[in-house]
Amino acid sequence: MWRLRDLSLRFKIPLRATVLVLITATLVTGSLIAREYDELKQDLIASANSLGRVLATTLVTPIAHDDAWRAYEIITSPFQEHTSDTGPQGAELIMILDPNYRVYVSTRPGEFPMLADPGLISEDYRRVQDAIRVRSDTEPFPLEVAGSDLLHVITPITADGISLGTLVATYSKAGFLPRFLAIAERAAVVSLLVLAILLPGAWYWGSRFATPLVSLAESMGKIGPRIPGDEELRIYESHDEVGQLGSAFRRMVSQLRQKEALEQEVMISERLAAVGRLSAGIAHEINNPLGGMLNAISTFKRHGSADAAVALLEEPGREACGQCDLPHRLQLGGKTLSLLERGLTQIKDTVGALLVEAKADSHPISGQDMEDVRTLVQPDFHRKRISMEWNNGIRDPIALPSTLVRQVLLNLLLNAAQAANPRGAVRCSVYRNSDTLLLTVRNDGTHIPPERMQVLFEPFSSSRADGHGLGLWVTYQITKQLGGDISVASEPGDTRFTVQLPIPPAT
């Protein structure tokens, strides 16, 4: 679901600036309109107070002489003089209340007749009566009743400190609504003009502010498998916080390039070191049998050979001695040939381990092939009195070369036998899981330390004095050649090797 916070900064910052300008303009316009409304009301109250004072002064004599008709003429005179174009806002109703708060005269005698109780006629005027009762001053005061659109201006009528009555002038708030709307319209037009100027500017400066951040984010997004070059980075250059962040990012990219270059150098060095270790191991493994073979040949040359024995038989006068020495020299030649054969076999095995390749004529692996491997390792297990927990789940042939798979399982089992404790246990499981052949070999021997894990599958890295370190390396090479994977997990009392070999689809 799309969310506003996921919007790009190139739009988010200008939008926020625009909203801020709109809110500011609305608040300013609203405050101006509210101020104008308040000023209109205060003008109305001031005008009403002025009118009230004039009328109250004029009404003292008619009320004192109980001249109701004259009083009526005085309060109706503002209605006769007021027009819609001149003068103050006219009152809707002017009423004189006697000291008992009853109607003395009003400009609408049909609605408010003489001696009527206005509080019984209108709830507004009941509130007016209550306000007059609680106030004792002689100054005019306005009264707004909650929920009413009427404004009452109350002016006491007194003579020599004696209250003769109260003048109540009622105004409708809707009366100055046209003027208020005209002011609000002008304020709205001015605000729209101001917004027309400010909004493009706010969008422009918001975009300018977002550009460095957007450029920095785009440059950061380019960092992945490849470190971008300086020409691909668009970094805002300045001394403010954004510029400092861009400079720090550029330094980080430069350090990443240096790190990448250093890793390449280290990788090359490690490869060269691995080649050196491999070469040294090969030289060692081949040089030992070659040295023994050369020593055997040298000994045979010094102490006799088959050709020398034949020469002794043919030389006159030495027949008896030659015949006497012939068996010994023939026996020496047989030992020499045996030494040469074992040395050449060892060299062949070492080279064969380094040249791992699948045999085209290997038949698909079957359950019987797994049982053959079990039979081959039984003597090693009996010799160390190691128990084997065997679980062979292969029933039907699987389209994997049996020679290589057997070699992998054989190497893992022999290694497990070497690593297991005397009278210990080894567990082996072989089963098919969907399109994968899984081989799992576990032993209870000493666990493999972490530093040993790093070189576990390298050639000539055996931890045993009598091992050449090619078994696991060959296993790793065969597994990778078959497109599989080998993993190892080791903790005290439990070391587990797991091989996963993908089974090719049937053709």
Residue range 31-43, pLDDT digits in tens? 877 887 788 778 8
What mean pLDDT comes out for the span 385-402?
Answer: 90
pLDDT band at residue 428 under the 50/70/90 scheme? very high
Percent of the chain at pLDDT above 90? 10
What mean pLDDT comes out for the span 411-437?
Answer: 89
Same domain for 440 and 302? no
The pLDDT value given to residue 6: 64
Q: Which residue has the higher pLDDT, 361 or 343?
A: 343
Q: Which residue has the higher pLDDT, 404 or 13?
A: 404
Same domain for 16 and 150? yes
pLDDT band at residue 274 under the 50/70/90 scheme? low
| Cα dihedral 22/28/34/38 (nearest 10) | -170
Mean pLDDT of the chain: 78
User: 203: alpha, beta or left, given left = phi > 0 and alpha = psi -120 to 50?
Assistant: alpha
Same domain for 85 and 47? yes
- For every residue of 383-417, which 3-state class applies, written as one string? HCCCEEEEEECCCCCEEEEHHHHHHHHHHHHHHHH
Q: Is the pLDDT of residue 87 over 90?
A: no
Burial letters for 33-56: b for 16+ Cβ neighbours within 10 Å, e otherwise? beebbeebbeebbebbbebbeebb
Domain boundary among 354, 376, 410: 354
Would residue 193 count as lying in a domain? no
Q: Which residue has the higher pLDDT, 68 or 216?
A: 68
The pLDDT value given to residue 498: 94
Closest C-alpha among 108, 101, 104 to residue 128: 101
Is 405 in contact with 475 (CB distance < 8 Å)? Answer: no
Same domain for 424 and 348? no
Poorest-pLDDT segment among 25-39, 383-397, 440-454, 482-496: 25-39
What mean pLDDT comes out for the span 268-297?
Answer: 69
Same domain for 141 and 24? yes
The pLDDT value given to residue 3: 62
pLDDT band at residue 487 under the 50/70/90 scheme? very high
State the total domains in the chain. 3
pLDDT band at residue 457 under the 50/70/90 scheme? confident
User: Kind of pairing, strands 103-106 and 162-172?
Assistant: unpaired
Q: Which residue has the higher pLDDT, 450 or 486?
A: 486
Same domain for 370 and 339? no
Q: Which residue has the higher pLDDT, 79 or 473?
A: 473
Q: φ and ψ at 115, to 5 degrees?
A: 65, 10
Q: Is the pLDDT of residue 471 over 80?
A: no
Closest C-alpha among 70, 67, 95 to residue 154: 95
Same domain for 440 and 342? no
Same domain for 164 and 43? yes
pLDDT band at residue 497 under the 50/70/90 scheme? very high
The pLDDT value given to residue 83: 45
Q: Which residue has the higher pLDDT, 96 or 20?
A: 96
pLDDT band at residue 469 under the 50/70/90 scheme? low
d(CA 375, CA 404): 17
For the ranges 25-29, 69-73, 85-89, the one whose mean pLDDT is highest: 69-73
103-120 pLDDT, tens digit per residue, is 999 998 889 999 899 988
Same domain for 310 and 451? no
The pLDDT value given to residue 85: 40
Q: Is the pLDDT of residue 65 over 90?
A: no
pLDDT band at residue 313 under the 50/70/90 scheme? very low
* Amino acid identity, position 272: L
Same domain for 327 and 422? no
Q: Is the pLDDT of residue 279 over 50?
A: yes
**Which CATH number goes with the domain that contains 435?**
3.30.565.10
Would residue 423 count as lying in a domain? yes
The pLDDT value given to residue 96: 92
Would residue 247 count as lying in a domain? no
pLDDT band at residue 423 under the 50/70/90 scheme? confident
User: Kind of pairing, strands 485-491 and 364-365?
Assistant: unpaired
Is 106 in contact with 95 (CB distance < 8 Å)? Answer: yes
Q: Is the pLDDT of residue 502 over 90?
A: yes
Q: Which residue has the higher pLDDT, 122 or 269?
A: 122
* Owning domain of residue 143: 4-181
Q: Is the pLDDT of residue 485 over 90?
A: yes
Domain boundary among 354, 386, 410: 354
Same domain for 424 and 325? no
Report the predicted TM-score, pTM, of the whole model to 2 decimal places.
0.39
Q: Which residue has the higher pLDDT, 80 or 450?
A: 450
Same domain for 390 and 339? no
Q: Which residue has the higher pLDDT, 216 or 39?
A: 39
Scanning the structure block, which residue is given the tokens 């002025």?
Answer: 50
- Give the contacts of 467 (CB within 8 A, at least 6 positions apart): 418
Helix (H) or strand (E) holding 159: strand 150-159
Scanning the structure block, which residue is given the tokens 């400066």?
Answer: 205
227-262 pLDDT, tens digit per residue, is 777 767 777 677 777 777 777 877 888 888 788 788
pLDDT band at residue 88 under the 50/70/90 scheme? very low
The pLDDT value given to residue 436: 92
Q: Is the pLDDT of residue 391 over 90?
A: yes
Domain boundary among 308, 335, 354: 354
What mean pLDDT comes out for the span 51-72?
Answer: 88
Q: φ and ψ at 290, to 5 degrees?
A: -60, -40
**Which CATH number goes with the domain that contains 31?**
3.30.450.20
The pLDDT value given to residue 181: 77
